[in-house]
Amino acid sequence: MDSLTQIVLGAAVGEAVLGRKVGNKAILWGAIAGTIPDLDVAANFFMDAVRANEMHRGFSHSILFSILFAPLLGWLAHKIHKKESASWKEWSYLMFGSLVTHPLLDAHTSWGTQLFWPLDYKITYNNIFVVDPLYTIPFMILLIMAMVKKRDDPKRRLYNNLGLIISCCYMLLTIGFKGIAHYNFAKSLTQQNIVYKDLEAKPTVFNAILWCGFVETENDFKIGYYSLLDGGTPVSFISFPKKQNLLGKMKEEDLVKRLIKLSRGWYNIEIEGDTTLFYDLRFGQKGMSSNPKDFVYCYKLYYENSILKAEPVRGDFKGAGEGMKQLLKRIAGK
């Protein structure tokens, strides 16, 4: 999830664990611990983009990381706040709760989380977009309402617990929404006699009402959109012919094999002049078009001194406004 959401979650967990004893210091340390796993983005400054993406949501997002670092952070907080009655063990519990809930939340997004590092497997449920205001904003408001109350005020605990409960209930709702969307995608594919190898349903940007269905068949990828407000209207699909063969000999390169693994097989290739473009399809399109170059996540593959390189293609905001208009219109249902 986005940084703001992780700060709010970490802070709320900190308050739940130790708020009665140390007041807003629990919220502060919970917020700090809640952001620490994402410090792995610093890898972007020291290594190439592919290696950095492989590391992201790896060790720092594992349960092992939380177990190892919670006592260290707990010791630090205990030393800084010697006058508070909280013990080193209690501070460590706070840190563990705020650290471990970060990757547990991230596992619900499309990126996936290597919770059981060093096992080379990322868990992903694909039931919530990385930025979802309906999850974050009520949670944040209730946390702020709790912060302004004195540590011994029962309303403080009430507001914080209410924020945690509402956010968890919303998360459960999105899992249910995903199930509804997946069922309708599968039903429409069957009705249209489309034989498919794989089907994934994912939420579109900033909401959990409009869902995107990613379909892989023998010869193409298909994308369909289903709003929970569509009712029983069949889903129509946009087809993108598979062009993975355009990789040619590049497919034998270790770098390309790693990219394919990162994309979990959801990738397509486009050729632009002398440039080979590797599109990671998992993160969807800028709009809802049939243009194969509208997918937001892309690498440019090229040789430099006979060594294959992969450079991320930075997306622009051209057409983003029109894409958002399409999105809002489509959320409202057909």
Structure tokens at 133: 């205001």
Q: Does any domain span residue 273?
A: yes
Q: Does any domain span residue 161?
A: no
CA atoms within 13 A on the CB side of 92: 10
Of 38, 41, 29, give the one whose Cα is nearest residue 70. Answer: 29
Element (H, E) at 210: strand 210-216
Distance separating alpha carbons of residues 328 and 182, to the nearest angstrom: 21
Structure tokens at 330: 């489509």
Q: Does any domain span residue 136?
A: no
Domain end residue (candidates: 83, 100, 125)? 125
What digits encode the pLDDT tens for the residues 163-200? 999 999 999 999 999 999 999 999 999 999 999 999 99
Q: Does any domain span residue 110?
A: yes
Query: Does residue 204 surpass a pLDDT of 90?
Result: yes
Q: How confident is the model at residue 48 (pLDDT cuts 50, 70, 90)?
A: confident
pTM (predicted TM-score)? 0.93
What digits encode the pLDDT tens for the residues 218-257? 999 999 999 999 988 899 999 999 999 999 999 999 999 9
Structure tokens at 76: 């630090």
Helices 154-191 and 133-147: angle between axes, nearest 10 degrees: 180
C-alpha radius of gyration, the chain, whole number: 22
Task: Between 105 and 47, name the one with better pLDDT.
Answer: 105
Express as a percent the part of the chain with pLDDT over 90: 83
Domain end residue (candidates: 85, 106, 125)? 125
Domain count, the chain: 2
Domain end residue (candidates: 125, 153, 184)? 125
Q: How confident is the model at residue 315 (pLDDT cuts 50, 70, 90)?
A: low
Phi, psi of 196 (to 5 degrees): -125, 155
For β-strands 295-304 and 307-312, DSSP reports them as antiparallel
Q: Does any domain span residue 86?
A: yes
Query: Does residue 320 surpass a pLDDT of 80?
Result: no
Query: Does residue 322 surpass a pLDDT of 90?
Result: no
SS3 121: coil
Element (H, E) at 285: strand 275-285
Domain limits for position 99: 3-125
Q: How confident is the model at residue 316 (pLDDT cuts 50, 70, 90)?
A: low
Amino acid present at 18: L
Q: How confident is the model at residue 152 (pLDDT cuts 50, 70, 90)?
A: very high
Q: Does any domain span residue 208?
A: no
Q: Does any domain span residue 264?
A: yes
Of 105, 71, 67, give the one whose Cα is nearest residue 88. Answer: 71
Q: Does any domain span residue 222?
A: no
Q: How confident is the model at residue 287 (pLDDT cuts 50, 70, 90)?
A: confident
Structure tokens at 301: 């593959």
Q: Is 177 exposed, middle or buried (0-12, 13-18, 19+ CB in 10 A)?
A: buried
Structure tokens at 307: 């060594």
Contact 22, 94 (CB under 8 A): no
